[in-house]
Structure 1
Amino acid sequence: MKTVAAKVRRVPEVVEFYHSIMRRDSKRDAGGCNVPEALPATANARDMIGEIENRSAYLLAIKTDVETQGDFIRLLIKEVENVSFTDIEDVVPFVKWLDDELSYLVDERAVLKHFEWPEQKADALREAAFGYCDFKKLESEAASFRDDARQPCGSALKKMQALLEKLELGVYNLSRMRESATRRYKGFGIPTDWMLETGIVSQIKLASVKLAMKYMRRVSAELEAVGGGPEEEELIVRGVRFAFRVHQFAGGFDVETMRAFQELRDKARSCHVQCQNPHQKLICRSTPC
């Protein structure tokens, strides 16, 4: 598997141009991030009453499973205790099979606590399998993203911004749990190489670079349509910010994305900065500065 470093390189011009644009834009208000308020939890009295009424039947069903499913559960215990993997791709179907088998129990946790169930290993297997699948879905979502030219530019850019934030959050969350998870997984024979920077993270970062290319191309196309004014200024700032953010996140650009950046930079440089009152405006010229 090729790493991001093998496909992208640092581009000092991206950082330099970002800072020059931000100096122009220093007096603009940064957009706030609205965090939705959590809805207050409400107790459902009717459900609570129903749970109490059904308690006896529920406990009886657990007792029946403990008494009749013992041999079946002991076989599963051996499978979990003895299993070991070298490829995370093999963990995923095993966990699916295990969950399918355990779904026959009336209450997995309540029944298994009556046996010497290897809970820590089973939970680690699930955590690794689900985590890997989540990252694969995230990488696939970014890699398959298509910019619909029929969609308004503002909506399209917001979609790409939201997708980048998901990629960043995914990589950040993985980096936070990598060290502790690696120790646990190795003790249970669960592969950990997919968690390294050269694993799924590399693919996610490369997908973000492709996303930046699509973002900058959309901005460049929109600049052709707006024809100057404050809207043009806003587009240039958004495009450069996004490019810089991805450049820092992924560690550079590939050749194709660098071309998209150069196109955006050339369009921005065809405009010059003119101070009006306390604010700076980008006035489009017909010839480069």
Structure 2
Amino acid sequence: MQGKAFGKKKGGGGGVKNNNSGQGMADALAEITKKSAYFQQIEEDVEKYSKSIYELKGAIGKFKTKDMNELLQFYKEVESVLENLTDETQVLARIEDFPTKKLEALRTSSTLYSKLESMIKELKNLKIEPPLPQLLDKVSRSFTKIKGDIDALERTKDEEAKIFKGYNIEFDFQIIVRIKETMVDVSSDCMELALKERREGDGQNKNGGVKLLWRVFQFAFQVYTFAGGHDERAEKLTQELAQEIEKEAENQ
């Protein structure tokens, strides 16, 4: 088919002349773009928000911080400008030397820190109340999700810290320690409730026996492994729980 459709023919006239086809396509696209309501809106955004965007360009370029609250506040101000744009990528592409890579680092770092803060909030908002089996189901689900996210982050945090630092953002990864400490507090609260119910109960109502006590102990051990240790309160409660398990086992 190539030979028939595009081959040269005697007498000329059979060949396809495409010397200007590329330029013709470019001109056609330019004309379509010019008349497009979407691209007209982008041009209007560039004109309307030009002053704000250039101010933002300078502010982003100069921004540096070690304070995560300052990071979150600055990024909030950045978004208050960018959220007005019809198409952020298209508009910023028309601003010469706009620091898009640093903007990306700001967005990534602030989103990450907000996510980590939400983990602490989630753990602190857990209601430590009976019935104990349902409580353990709830805290175990939170623990599994948070542990998975933190384990993944700890594998990449050195690389991410280096990227952020390259844009003058010194990310505070100590928040991971705070998350682990908060998880230890949740585990301790569960042990306290288990011991309280155990000691205040009677007969068959003593926490459902050794199986439930053992389940609380296993959760405490999982948290211990995740956090890399226990504080004084958790250590004391773990020992008390172990003693109750031993007593229950001896009585069966």
Give the TM-score normalised by structure 2: 0.76
- Segments of structure 1 that go 5 or more residues without pairing to the other structure are 1-54, 273-282
Alignment of 1:1-289 (within 5 A): 56-115=36-95, 116-149=97-130, 152-192=131-171, 194-195=172-173, 199-223=174-198, 224=201, 227=204, 231-272=208-249, 284-285=251-252
Moved more, 166-175 or 244-253: 166-175
- DSSP 3-state at the match of 2:85: coil
Query: Considering only CA atoms, is the larger Rg found in Structure 1 or Structure 2?
Result: 2
The 8 Å contact of residues 142 and 211 in structure 1, kept in 2 or not, is answered as yes
- List runs of 5+ in structure 2 lacking aligned partners: 1-34
Higher relative contact order (CA 8 A, sep 6+): 1
Count of aligned residue pairs for this structure pair: 215
SS in 2 for 1:104: coil
Gap change, CA 1:70 and 1:153, over 3 Å in 2: same
RMSD: 2.4
Aligned to 1:42: none
Residue identity in the other structure for 1:123: E
Distance 1:228 1:270, change over 3 A: farther
* C-alpha separation in 2, matches of 1:227 and 1:187: 62
Shift of 1:235: 0.7
Give the TM-score taking structure 1 as reference length: 0.67
Between Structure 1 and Structure 2, the one with more helix by share is: 2
Is the Cα–Cα contact under 8 Å of residues 138 and 167 in structure 1 kept in the other structure? yes
After superposition, the Cα gap between the structure-2 partners of 1:260 and 1:226, relative to the gap in structure 1 and judged at 3 Å, is farther
What amino acid is the match of 2:61? E
CA contact (8 A) 1:88 1:190 kept: no
One-letter code of the match for 2:156?
Answer: M
Higher strand share: 1
Structure 1 residues 57 and 222, CA, compared in 2 at 3 Å: closer, same or farther?
Answer: farther
Report how far residue 222 of structure 1 moved: 4.6
